Structure 1
Amino acid sequence: MKYMVNIWFDSLVGNEARLKNVVGRSGVTVNGIALHHASDTLLQVAGSSIIVSSAAGHNRFEGHLISQTKQQFTCVAVTACGRFAATGEIGHQPAVRLWQLRDDQGNFVGRLVRSMQSHTVSITIVRFTPDDSTLISIGCQHDAQIITWDWKTGHDLGIGKLMSPVNAMTVSFDSSMCVTVGSKSVKYWFLPLASDGLNKRTGLTSRSAILADKRNVNFVDATFCDSTNRMVAVTSSGEILEFNGNKKYVKCYSWKESGDFKAICIARIPEGLLVGCSDGLVRLFCLIGDDLDFLADLAPPTHLFQDPSNVFEAQQLLNHPEDAIFPEPRCLVASSSNPTFVVGYADRSLIEFARENKSWSFRRASLGHTGSVNCIEPFPSSSPCLPAGTLITGGSDGTIRFWNFNGDTEDKKDIANILCPSLLKVVYLEENPDLLLDKRNMESVGPSNDDNQSATSSGVLCTRVTHDGRMMIGGTATGMLYLIDLSFSDTPIIDVINAHDNDVTSIDFSDHATTSSRDQPMFLASGGRDRFVHVFRRIPYSSQFVHCAVLDGHQSAIKSIKFASNNGQLHLYTAATDRSLIIWKLSSFSEQHCEFTRVQQISVPSSIGDMAFIKYVEMFVVGGHDRMLRQFDINGKSIREVKGTDDDVAHSGKIQKIAIDHSGSYAVSVCSDKYVYVTDLRTGVCLAVLCGFGAPPTDATFSDDFKNVIVTTSNGAIFIWQLAKNLTERMISAQVRLMEEVTMR
């Protein structure tokens, strides 16, 4: 398979889209993040993509390294010169891949140079030596190999056999050796050089450290302290062990007896040794002398259940409530020659700091969901409550997040925060802090697809905003409906309704229907995996809803429900996995009761994954597990059916979610084969295949200005794809023609 170059068009099929931005990440590990200090360039793993971002001066940019395969990246490294990067991956025949980041003029390239295959199952660590002479790669416990490469030619220089899983690796200052630490193991490896003239693979010479009474300890991180090969390592129990230049354990530092904290990760900066601790703080210790002398500590600028919309001043980054819960640091990425370092926390926040003139300085932060992002919805652009272009996402961490990626616009100035400007607000529906934290994983295999699948059935599963943007509802995996008032800046939760036995799969408000009846109350409908559809009626002059009907016409899980108006009468369309689509009509209603009668039941050839209704076009589209998009008019009559995927790419999988542009001309199909397809609904031509997710995408939507397609994934990342200018213009033209037809009706 070919690997793409991140130039303007980088979708698999066609030339109608390019990856513009990625928010969030697959996880936070020391091997999944790399920092080039000279250019202030940060590399991080996000599924099958690598985010390359820079915040140096006014030259802010974001580029991407995108794999066209479905294999997820597990680790990344960057050379000391900053021009090349290496990646490792998990899957069938994983390869160490070398990428060119910049050309001689410093412009971003993002080109794959070569692939080097020798590992099996998974590659967990890649690292360049400080002099850029050698690339080191380490496989998981099933591969059990450490390989050194001449990355400029692609030849392997030596191979070593690992006797236990490796959690971390560090390279000496002079590039002559590296140390791997893991389960009951601290091993020194002597590195061959490309200049040695070795043209064939040789065995790597190694020596185990003398551990004495620490030989049964599990080591999780390590770093060299100075040019004398003095080294320190962190154990899973929170101790720091020191090794001298003779590879002998000489001292143990522990804070367990005082009960204050445990060490989790370490890194070296010019002023001393950084230690990430279990209480959320990063502590700095002096390395001059025989002991680790405490110098300073750094609290994270964020805490759990914090709303970033309240952070407007730098002083607020230092002030936290007394009962604040801090996420523990999971990794530190730093250099012994530069004061800038990056801290990755357990809530998947990534924050860059600098230690200069004996003081800390906050540089930038990146926040995101912890776990799967289950749903996405554009906020109504006509509403004054939030800036135009705002997006709403719901995640398995029990949060609803409001995003805006339009840059520094006028309507964002009043609500933009200094912590993460693109994240406008966070609403917490769950009070369980464990949902906001990643579990510590010492397994050296890589990300698990099973974990991604299970994560999608927790937290917030679906959201829906009213047409005027003043109220929204969130459905969770526990069957609860959370009603949120968006007209107030603190977005209070108005009501909590226990509607279903388990997953709430779809919800809708009746004010989205094109009905002009003013004497009709607003209805709220929710469908669940328990196959029931519950209908609620809004109490007049109130924000409360009361239950008024139950629809049980389906025999399996509800996938989508939509309100619509047909000849001035309110209809409800429900689709389920029992291959049926039922049209219900509101026949009567009162203050205590409402009645929906079944008008028609439509059977489709395959199980239904999702349904979308196009306002004003009076047409709905059903995506099936046979990867077909079936279009029906508002009366249930079949109009046409087209392929929702590309036959050259999609050989398996099923459509799980669909999104239609406002003109009803183009569709986005989210498929379980880890690809997202942009299709012309009139001709069935696949315009673009979006890739690089690494995990099954969960939902997608068009932006209100037709310029972007935003895709959420089960690994926690949000991908923003920019559509080609000619495709955007066609959508806008179709929308204008449609509105002209509506006006003339």
Structure 2
Amino acid sequence: MADRPERRRQPAGRKSRQSQPRKSSSSRVTLEKVLGISPVVSSFLTSDPNSGRIAYPAGCVVVLLNPLNNKQDHIINASRKPFTALSFSPDGKHLVTGESGHMPCVRVWEVGGGQVAEVQAHKYGVACVAFSCSGSYVVSVGFQHDRTISVWDWKKGSIIATNKVSSRVFSVSFSQDSSYFVTAGNRHVKFWDLDGSKDRRVNSTVPLIGRSGLLGDHKNSVFCGVACGRGPAASNTYCVTAAGVLCLFNSGRQLEAWVNLKTAAASGLVVSEDWVFCGCADGVIRVFRPANLQYVGTLPRPHRLGVDLTRSVPHSSPPPAGSEAAHPDTLALTFDPRGRRLSCVYTDHSVYVWDVADVKNAVRLHSALYHSSCVWNIQVYPELQDPSQARLPPSAFLTCSSDNTIRLWHSDAPIRQRNQYSQDLLKILYVGEDVQRLQAAGAEADGPDGKAGIRVLGISPDGKHLAAGDRCGNLRIFDLESLTELLKIEAHDSEVLCLEFSPLSSGVKLLASASRDRLIHVFNQEKNYNLQQTLNDHSASITAVKFTGQSPEVQLVSCGADKSIYVQTAEQTPDGSLFSRRHHVVEKTTLYDMDLDPTGTRVSVACQDRNVRVYSVETGKLERSLKGSASDEGALLKVHSDPSGSFFATSCSDKNITIFEAETGECVATLFGHSELVSCMRFSQDCRHLISASGDSCVFVWRLDPQMSSNMRKRRAPGPSGPRQPSIRRETFITVPAPQLPLVEEEEDQRTPGRPEPPAETLLLETNGKMPMWFRKLVG
């Protein structure tokens, strides 16, 4: 209740956007774990000076990590804007955040509670934030195009001082006595005085007064990090340049000393009473004494790029002779003075926590390895009838990314199965020859057609093989027990968008791959994945492919950006199963994704108009249409049903995830936290979790309400109860909002639809009122 009077003083546009309905709608699903970290700069990482927890952003979520037990807490931004900067208060009770997007805010959160204050002082985004050492003030600096500096008395809810800067700012730091703060950036080191604001009038804002540091020979340098001294060196200020020079400014703003870090680049620094830590390229962290910049030593480097997690190789062992970019670059540092822990984030999005009580013998306390680029797909390991035949542990799942890696996750793995680098990660599978270059850059690299990365995964129903399609059109088959590559097929001319294995109930072992090149390839798993058939019915990118049916009638359902759904039926020939078209359904909206219900008799299609349309596989008819998004904006991109068919989840272009009851279409929960489009969602086989992936390089693990999980397990049923009678009709359906159209029979041919056969004179064709020209000529 204490913060209510403070909020009344704020303008109407600055109120918090949290609302009770949103909280209640998502109360049945909670965020349990975040596997990832957003692209980082030095202001993205901060540590609690009391508890030793570290905080870093993952999209629109702040992860509060206890490195001793790998436990996470989360702060989710209700405004759905990604976090760009973080800083703990000196007492560790509050956290200040900056964000980007329209009307970005600087917010103060109570650790373990909710938001307590906010202010909107920047136009485009917040580059860095910091608490004063007294805890009374917050300073924030805007993005490059904003360049506004504001000092905020967050307890009173008023901005006390502000000004503009002419350069881009990368870092800010308060002095120990809170009388001034320092900003550093592009050819910029400036000291800002706060004494002039202490005698201000009530509710007035005064201009900040700043004086530039005397840079000398380094006047043209880019200063990427700044930190004010502590303890005996409190009057000093330390800066580091992107070229790798550590500078010391005295109380008169003069450059008193500087040291060459002997590195290709530097990214930031942190200062304690005893040490100055500088983050450098190739995983190097240099340590100096604050008084005179005397070199003390270098901390151990992290893992090598391309490390095999199954091998126990010391992380600090020397790299092989002639190797380049053997370790990821250091990006961000933060220091816990009480626990004497140094936390680091590297360019490959790995997180390390070092015990630096003895800097010459630093010990790694915690580490985690995450995807460094967009995560495209998730596959959950299937439940097998004979668990002894499983190649992977239960509840394991795999993800693929544009960083050219496939990662095997299992948070509940026994200690004996865990590796030395990450408690949640069992294995990393590196694909391609440029993995080290990709990870060193922390982003995508160009392949033969300007793209790189693994786009989609598929797991065979027997749990033995993993199929992976990349963005260059290649298809790879891996053995899931050893995760070694068995086969590489140059399958498509463009990126592979869909992979689907035929289920065990079908009686055949097939793999279908679909691509942006409008083709579906069917491979025979029993014949070393030889190409069995190519289907070219679609006239645009294919967005989903599914197998269904039981032997002898196996069906292949596909949908695409050409607004068409094709149902293909397999016919047994001496050469194997060959598919021929059975139904063709045409919609008036783009179809982005499709999923089968557990019985295999219906498909749910995610449409651009935010509806989920359910079709019968047997007849091709539209059975019902459900609202697939809680909002009225954007397009529906993904749909996925749980193993029992009780619920289905959808993702929209507004970056939200919505869970609905399948029977009633009632919204169960709306989830948000990703800062980019949600690229994939999967329910776990044990019906306890929903896993989501996004272009923000993060994987979220959501815990479902126990009642939801119980309902799923009760309703869970096997596939179709028996084979269906084959139908000999070949039909095309056109769905419109008007009353249902009669069926139009067509000849059994394999041509791509779009050239309709002339109908008989007795055929009655209902349209939207405008007869096509060919029909008017025929009946006229």
Secondary structure of the 2:709 match is helix
* Residue 655 (structure 2) pairs with residue 669 (structure 1): no
- Measured in 2, the distance between the counterparts of 1:707 and 1:733 equals 13
Contact 2:22 2:670 in 1 (8 A): no
1:380 Cα deviation after fit: 1.2
Contact 1:10 1:19 in 2 (8 A): no
Secondary structure of the 2:422 match is coil
Structure 1 residues 194 and 589: alpha-carbon distance in aligned structure 2, compared to 1, 3 A threshold: farther
**Any residues of structure 2 matched to 1:299-314 within 5 Å, and which?**
299-311=300-312
Secondary structure of the 1:635 match is coil
1:609 Cα deviation after fit: 0.6
Structure 1 residues 113 and 395: alpha-carbon distance in aligned structure 2, compared to 1, 3 A threshold: same
- Measured in 2, the distance between the counterparts of 1:682 and 1:208 equals 66
1:525 to 512, 526, 530: 512
Contact 2:606 2:628 in 1 (8 A): no
> In the TM superposition, what whole-angstrom CA distance separates every residue of 1:480-539 from its partner, at most 9, and x where no partner exists?
111101122xx11111111111210001112x2522x3xx5x222100001011122234
Contact 1:12 1:691 in 2 (8 A): no
- Measured in 2, the distance between the counterparts of 1:14 and 1:29 equals 31
1:727 to 708, 729, 743: 708
The equivalent of 2:431 in structure 1 is: 429
**Any residues of structure 2 matched to 1:243-282 within 5 Å, and which?**
243-254=249-260, 261-282=264-285
- Measured in 1, the distance between the counterparts of 2:335 and 2:356 equals 11
Contact 1:380 1:467 in 2 (8 A): yes
Structure 1 residues 55 and 456: alpha-carbon distance in aligned structure 2, compared to 1, 3 A threshold: farther
The equivalent of 1:91 in structure 2 is: 101
The equivalent of 2:777 in structure 1 is: none
The equivalent of 1:616 in structure 2 is: 599
* Residue 530 (structure 2) pairs with residue 536 (structure 1): no
2:672 to 667, 691, 694: 691
RMSD between aligned alpha carbons?
Answer: 2.7
* Residue 539 (structure 2) pairs with residue 555 (structure 1): yes
Contact 1:147 1:159 in 2 (8 A): yes
The equivalent of 1:167 in structure 2 is: 170
**Any residues of structure 2 matched to 1:314-393 within 5 Å, and which?**
316-319=314-317, 321-322=319-320, 323=323, 325-334=326-335, 339-358=340-359, 359-382=361-384, 384-393=390-399
Secondary structure of the 1:386 match is coil
The equivalent of 1:682 in structure 2 is: 663
Query: Residue type of the partner of 2:326?
Result: I
The equivalent of 1:104 in structure 2 is: none
1:338 Cα deviation after fit: 5.4
Which blocks of at least 5 consecutive residues in structure 2 are unaligned? 1-14, 725-780
1:124 to 115, 122, 127: 127
1:262 Cα deviation after fit: 3.9
The equivalent of 1:36 in structure 2 is: 48
1:232 Cα deviation after fit: 2.4
The equivalent of 1:154 in structure 2 is: 157
The equivalent of 1:71 in structure 2 is: 81
Query: Residue type of the partner of 1:534?
Result: H
- Measured in 2, the distance between the counterparts of 1:129 and 1:335 equals 17
- Measured in 2, the distance between the counterparts of 1:439 and 1:427 equals 17
> In the TM superposition, what whole-angstrom CA distance separates every residue of 1:549-594 from its partner, at most 9, and x where no partner exists?
2110000001111112256322211111111111112224445x76
**Any residues of structure 2 matched to 1:152-231 within 5 Å, and which?**
152-192=155-195, 196=199, 198-199=201-202, 200-226=204-230, 227-231=233-237
Query: Residue type of the partner of 1:700?
Result: M
The equivalent of 1:507 in structure 2 is: 499
Structure 1 residues 206 and 362: alpha-carbon distance in aligned structure 2, compared to 1, 3 A threshold: same
1:255 Cα deviation after fit: 5.1
- Measured in 1, the distance between the counterparts of 2:236 and 2:258 equals 14
1:640 Cα deviation after fit: 3.0
TM-score (norm 1): 0.88
The equivalent of 1:605 in structure 2 is: 588
Contact 2:549 2:720 in 1 (8 A): no
- Measured in 1, the distance between the counterparts of 2:201 and 2:654 equals 43
1:230 Cα deviation after fit: 1.8
Contact 2:304 2:315 in 1 (8 A): no
Structure 1 residues 255 and 23: alpha-carbon distance in aligned structure 2, compared to 1, 3 A threshold: closer
Tell me: higher relative CO, structure 1 or 2? Use CA pairs within 8 A at least 6 residues apart.
1
The equivalent of 1:650 in structure 2 is: 631
Identity of aligned residues (%): 25
Contact 2:460 2:501 in 1 (8 A): yes
Query: Residue type of the partner of 1:391?
Result: F
Secondary structure of the 1:663 match is coil
Contact 2:583 2:620 in 1 (8 A): no
Contact 1:269 1:338 in 2 (8 A): no
Contact 2:197 2:206 in 1 (8 A): no
The equivalent of 1:660 in structure 2 is: 641
* Residue 294 (structure 2) pairs with residue 293 (structure 1): yes
Contact 1:327 1:346 in 2 (8 A): yes
1:478 to 460, 466, 472: 472
- Measured in 1, the distance between the counterparts of 2:627 and 2:97 equals 32
TM-score (norm 2): 0.84
The equivalent of 2:618 in structure 1 is: 635
- Measured in 2, the distance between the counterparts of 1:639 and 1:320 equals 63
Secondary structure of the 1:31 match is helix
1:12 Cα deviation after fit: 6.7
1:189 Cα deviation after fit: 0.6
Query: Residue type of the partner of 1:487?
Result: E
1:439 Cα deviation after fit: 5.6
Query: Residue type of the partner of 2:460?
Result: T
1:733 Cα deviation after fit: 1.6
Contact 1:172 1:178 in 2 (8 A): yes
1:394 to 384, 400, 406: 400
Secondary structure of the 2:679 match is strand
Query: Residue type of the partner of 1:206?
Result: G
1:14 Cα deviation after fit: 5.3
The equivalent of 1:105 in structure 2 is: none
1:251 Cα deviation after fit: 3.2
Secondary structure of the 1:308 match is coil
1:219 Cα deviation after fit: 1.3
Secondary structure of the 1:514 match is helix
Which blocks of at least 5 consecutive residues in structure 1 are unaligned? 102-107, 441-449
1:381 Cα deviation after fit: 2.7
> In the TM superposition, what whole-angstrom CA distance separates every residue of 1:339-389 from its partner, at most 9, and x where no partner exists?
211111010111111211342011111221011111111111325211110
- Measured in 2, the distance between the counterparts of 1:523 and 1:743 equals 20
1:173 Cα deviation after fit: 2.0
Contact 1:11 1:690 in 2 (8 A): no
Contact 2:42 2:267 in 1 (8 A): no
Query: Residue type of the partner of 1:166?
Result: V
Contact 2:249 2:256 in 1 (8 A): yes
* Larger gyration radius, structure 1 or structure 2: 2
The equivalent of 1:443 in structure 2 is: none
1:335 Cα deviation after fit: 5.0
- Measured in 1, the distance between the counterparts of 2:379 and 2:590 equals 24
